[in-house]
Amino acid sequence: MQQDQHPEDGIGESLKKITAISAVLFVLMLAVYAVLGRFSIAVLLGGLIGLAAALMNLVLLGRTVRDIAHTEDTVLAQNRMRASYTTRMMGMAAAAVAAFLVPQTDGIACLVALVIPKVAVMLVQYLDKWLGKRAKD
C-alpha cells in the first residue's frame, strides 16, 4: 500500500472488482433466461432491481465499516453495525417484495440477482488468493 493511500481505498477497489464481476454474472443470468426462452423485460427489470439493491447493500456495508472503524466505544460500534445490518436487510427484502408485487417485474430474477454480488465477493476472494499464490511461485 502506498503511503498516500487510505485503508478506505481498499474498500473502493474491492467494490469496483465486485461490481464488475457482478455485471458479468448478471449478463450470464440474462443469457440463461434467454436460452431457456424465458427472457423478457420483466426479467430484466426484476434483475436490475435485485442487483441494484444488492450492490447498494455492499456500498452501505462499506460505509458503515469505514465509519465505525475509528470508534473506540465498542458498544456504540456494535449497535451501529447491528442497525446498519437491519436497515440493509430490510431494504433488500423491500426490493424483493416490490419485484413480486409489481406486475412488470420478475420476482425470481430479482431474487437471483440479489445473490449475484455474494457470488462475486467469493470469486474476488478466490481470485485474489489464487493470483497471490501465482505471484509467489
Q: What is the pLDDT of residue 29?
A: 98
Question: Does residue 103 carry a pLDDT above 80?
Answer: yes
Assigned C-alpha cell, 81: 453495525
Q: Residue 105: pLDDT band by 50, 70, 90 thresholds?
A: very high
Q: Residue 130: what pLDDT?
A: 86
Least confident of 2-11, 53-62, 100-109, 113-122: 2-11
55: CB partners within 8 A, 6+ apart:
18, 19, 22, 117
d(CA 52, CA 115): 11
pLDDT one-digit tens code per residue, 8-52:
566 788 899 999 999 999 999 999 999 999 999 999 999 999 999
Give the pLDDT confidence score for residue 4 in this predicted structure.
44
SS3 letters for the chain?
Answer: CCCCCCHHHHHHHHHHHHHHHHHHHHHHHHHHHHHCCCCCHHHHHHHHHHHHHHHHHHHHHHHHHHHHCCCCCHHHHHHHHHHHHHHHHHHHHHHHHHHHHCCCCCHHHHHHHHHHHHHHHHHHHHHHHHHHHHHHC
What residue spans define the domains of the chain?
8-136
**Do residues 6 and 60 touch, judged by C-beta distance below 8 A?**
no
Other CB atoms within 10 Å distance of the CB of residue 29: 20
